[in-house]
Structure 1
Amino acid sequence: MIPRTVWVLGFVSLLMDVSSEIVQALLPLYLVGTLGASAALVGFVEGFSVAVATTTKLFSGIITDWSGRRKPMVIAGYGLGAASKLIFPVASSIGWIVGAKAIDRVGKGIRGTPRDALIADVTPPELRGASFGLRKSLDTVGGFLGPLVAIGLLFLFGGNVQAVFWVAVVPALLAVALLVVGIEEPVHASPVKKDGPPRVADAVRLGRGVWLTIFVACLLTAARFSEAFLLLKSQEAGFSLTWVPITLVIMHAVYGLTAYPVGRLSDAIGRTGLLGTSLVFLVVAYMVLAHASSVSAFMVGIVLWGLHMGFSQGLLATLIADSAPAALRGTAFGVFNLLTGVTVLAGNVAAGLMWDAYGSYGTFITGASLSAAGAVAFGLIAVQRLRLGSASSAKRT
């Protein structure tokens, strides 16, 4: 049975994601239409947010291993996220928005690593795939509910974006309250507090299995561009501006419905084959999107993209939990999040340059090529791991 803590963390993620997606679905429009920001500045705000979050994740992982406690940092991270939502409705300048996004991303960076480490701490190995998949699924439910709620609230408040931002505060505060009263950190699951200050050098001691998993994760992440390019493509395919957010709703719905059953299946048959399948979905999704000239073809590509996410994201976190030493789980998740975050930034810059030079076709064909190369590399790594496993078994016998 999946531990109660995992369920609570899943519903906390759901509530916070509803809050964040309500804001995120309307923030670019608010920045440009109300505060007069340029498109370039919008891009800077988003890039700055990613950089802050990925850097914070590494240090939060190291600190949570050193302190031997997960829950206080998880509460601090979600608390900062909730506090940031109070700034958006009263922001009267771009500087306030940048500050609010920075606080929100610091909170995201602080909470993500100890939350995943806590799930690994309280979950038996035979249920890790299901547990991480469940958390991802519930998080993704928030991802598709948020834009729907934003659309409904806009109609309700007659287009008053600031009023919608005030409503977004409510699920954020509920998430923090549920976290405080809903989970108890098991003392036996937390690593023993270490002597001396936390050290970045501990990352070197993660072991070959963790570093190989991180390499595979970066391989997959480099081939997957931001969902922002899906939104841009949706208008080319024939969506009106009002219905562009439906792209994320459908993608998150497929992602959410897939992640938990895939996690459970990985507990029974292993992770490698399912991760390989995720790359196949991504290659086909890119090919469909590159040639999509109608809403129906575009929707097929979005469904395939959602399947890729459902078959990969929960499993990558599970592999880190499987391979990391218990005393360094937080550090392992921190390094994992940092390096995949840097990879996302680099990949998105490259995708944007391709879009400017060659349009959507060039971007998605490049993505398909990178995904296919990643699939080949992943296959070679999987074969090598099987050979090493067989050799180890032979030596023991």
Structure 2
Amino acid sequence: MFNKHGTWPMKSSLLTRNVIILSMVSFFTDVASEMLYPVMPIYLSSIGFSVLLIGILEGVAEATAGLSKGYFGKLSDNQGKRLPFVQLGYALSAISKPLLVAYVFPLWVFFARTLERLGKGLRTGARDALLSDEATAATKGRVFGFHRAMDTLGAVVGPLLALLYLAFRPEDYKMLFLLAFLPGILAIGFTFLIREKKKERPGFISKTKFFDFFRYLKESPSNYRKLLVPLLIFTVFNSSDVFLLLKLKESGLGDTLVIGMYVFFNLVYALFAYPMGSFADKWGMKRIFVFGLLVFGGVYLGMAFAEQIWVFAVLFLFYGLFSAATEGVAKAWITNISHAKDTATAIGTYTAFQSIGTLMASSLAGLIWYSLGPEYMFIISGIAALLIGLYLYFSKL
């Protein structure tokens, strides 16, 4: 499968054994997660969860994932280890799928859902640090882009598998949750093929406390802090994709078309993640990331006034380009301006605050949508993205 140098044959040497394997792990994990994405709210409603309770559940789960990313990223750097965090993190996410349907008691559902997000928090910083270790400053855009491409391809395959299954077994949600465990098992299996490079153990370090990653903001390079501020401001205006799907629904599109548009977006994202990473390596992380923000601004301004299906299709195509130009590129950019020994902490701190910002963004978007109307929510977010893009373009980062 790999040649004697540990690289994928017939490919660029930047796609090392670990890059390929980590990408396959993310692919199968996302297949499992996205199989359940379209049916999660329906299943929760069927077992008696109100909209309010679903909101509280998702809020607790996302807060758990967000804060734990920072802690476990810092812990990974302090221990000088990556692989145990990756293996346990993906294992928890896989096991949580069947646990969600084992019992219908609210506390049990909260436990299982939170366990899944804790797994994400466990693995994120360590996994991205492993990817960073496999790249140079000149190839990180492509390495993170390839990983994002494979991860997002899972978001294409997963919903399609769910739709296919439900076409033959309507409303059989419990079995779907059990079937989602299968790609999760494959993901766990692939983690045992990862080879972590030996590193010198860090010297004496005091016990890692849960909020220690906050201190990294003071210790980090100045460019890291300068970049973090606009990234997190943008996060506050980048609400959940659910609002885009809700706009489609309110415009008269049926459930199949709504899910189909979501799959189309992820397909575009998957196809362009690697090319965008390549462009970032060639032309600079900042230029490609700013391009993504400008595209986001255009898409959201367009969504404020769109009504026809072909317009939505064009906007979702460009929305896929935005994601391809920003998600992996942001992490590659961060690892390039951070010290190698602090990579997991740098990524963990960013993704921790990003998760909190996303919660704020969705709450703010919901408030604006409810009080002023959806067009104002999209216009405000679109203008904010354009302004942040212009600020970054003229900054000295």
> What is the TM-score when the length of structure 1 is the normalising length?
0.92
Q: What is the Cα deviation at residue 192 of structure 1?
A: 3.3
Q: Deviations over 1:279-324 (max 9, x none)?
A: 1111110111111112111122211211111111111000111011
Q: What is the Cα deviation at residue 203 of structure 1?
A: 4.3
Q: Secondary structure at the match of 2:383?
A: helix
CA distance in 2, matches of 1:300, 1:131: 28
Aligned to 1:11: 24
Q: Is the 8 A contact 1:284 1:368 kept in 2?
A: yes
CA distance in 2, matches of 1:374, 1:138: 29
When structure 1 is superposed on structure 2, of 6-15 and 263-272 the one drifting more is 263-272
1:172 to 170, 184, 209: 184
> Is structure 2 residue 207 aligned with structure 1 residue 197?
yes
Q: What is the Cα deviation at residue 325 of structure 1?
A: 0.7
Question: Identity, % of aligned pairs?
Answer: 28
Aligned to 1:273: 287
Greater helix share, structure number: 1
Q: What is the Cα deviation at residue 356 of structure 1?
A: 0.5
When structure 1 is superposed on structure 2, of 46-55 and 366-375 the one drifting more is 366-375
Q: Is the 8 A contact 2:290 2:390 kept in 1?
A: no
> Is structure 2 residue 310 aligned with structure 1 residue 296?
yes
1:326 to 340, 352, 361: 340
Q: Is the 8 A contact 1:213 1:316 kept in 2?
A: no
Q: Deviations over 1:83-107 (max 9, x none)?
A: 1012123232333222111000000
Aligned to 2:328: 314
Q: Is the 8 A contact 2:217 2:225 kept in 1?
A: no
Aligned to 1:65: 77
CA distance in 1, matches of 2:201, 2:222: 21
Q: What is the Cα deviation at residue 143 of structure 1?
A: 1.0
CA distance in 2, matches of 1:10, 1:191: 27
CA distance in 2, matches of 1:15, 1:78: 10
Q: What is the Cα deviation at residue 193 of structure 1?
A: 5.2
Q: What is the Cα deviation at residue 130 of structure 1?
A: 0.4
> Structure 1 residues 186 and 353 mapped into 2: Cα distance closer, same or farther (>3 Å)?
same
Q: Is the 8 A contact 2:149 2:271 kept in 1?
A: yes
Q: Is the 8 A contact 1:223 1:374 kept in 2?
A: no
Q: Is the 8 A contact 1:238 1:295 kept in 2?
A: no
CA distance in 2, matches of 1:178, 1:186: 17
CA distance in 1, matches of 2:218, 2:260: 43
Aligned to 1:135: 147
Q: Is the 8 A contact 2:292 2:323 kept in 1?
A: yes
CA distance in 1, matches of 2:347, 2:362: 22
Aligned-pair Cα RMSD in Å: 1.5
Q: Any gaps of 5 or more consecutive residues in structure 2?
A: 1-12
Q: What is the Cα deviation at residue 236 of structure 1?
A: 2.0
2:375 to 337, 358, 361: 361
CA distance in 1, matches of 2:27, 2:189: 13
Q: Deviations over 1:198-249 (max 9, x none)?
A: 3613442111122122223213323322101011011122211243222321
Q: Which amino acid is 1:49 matched to? A: A
1:254 to 257, 260, 268: 268
Q: Which amino acid is 1:187 matched to? A: K
Q: Is the 8 A contact 1:251 1:303 kept in 2?
A: yes
Q: What is the Cα deviation at residue 194 of structure 1?
A: 4.3
Q: Is the 8 A contact 2:297 2:382 kept in 1?
A: yes
Q: Secondary structure at the match of 1:25?
A: coil
Q: Deviations over 1:14-38 (max 9, x none)?
A: 1001101112221100111x11221
Q: How do 1:35-54 and structure 2 match up within 5 A?
A: 35-54=47-66
> Structure 1 residues 372 and 68 mapped into 2: Cα distance closer, same or farther (>3 Å)?
same
Q: What is the Cα deviation at residue 76 of structure 1?
A: 0.8
Q: How do 1:154-169 and structure 2 match up within 5 A?
A: 154-169=166-181
> What is the TM-score when the length of structure 2 is the normalising length?
0.92
Q: What is the Cα deviation at residue 368 of structure 1?
A: 1.3
Q: Which amino acid is 1:196 matched to? A: S
Q: Is the 8 A contact 1:279 1:371 kept in 2?
A: yes
Q: Secondary structure at the match of 2:206?
A: coil
CA distance in 2, matches of 1:358, 1:301: 23
Q: Secondary structure at the match of 1:187?
A: coil
Q: Is the 8 A contact 2:239 2:361 kept in 1?
A: yes
How many residue pairs get aligned? The number is 380
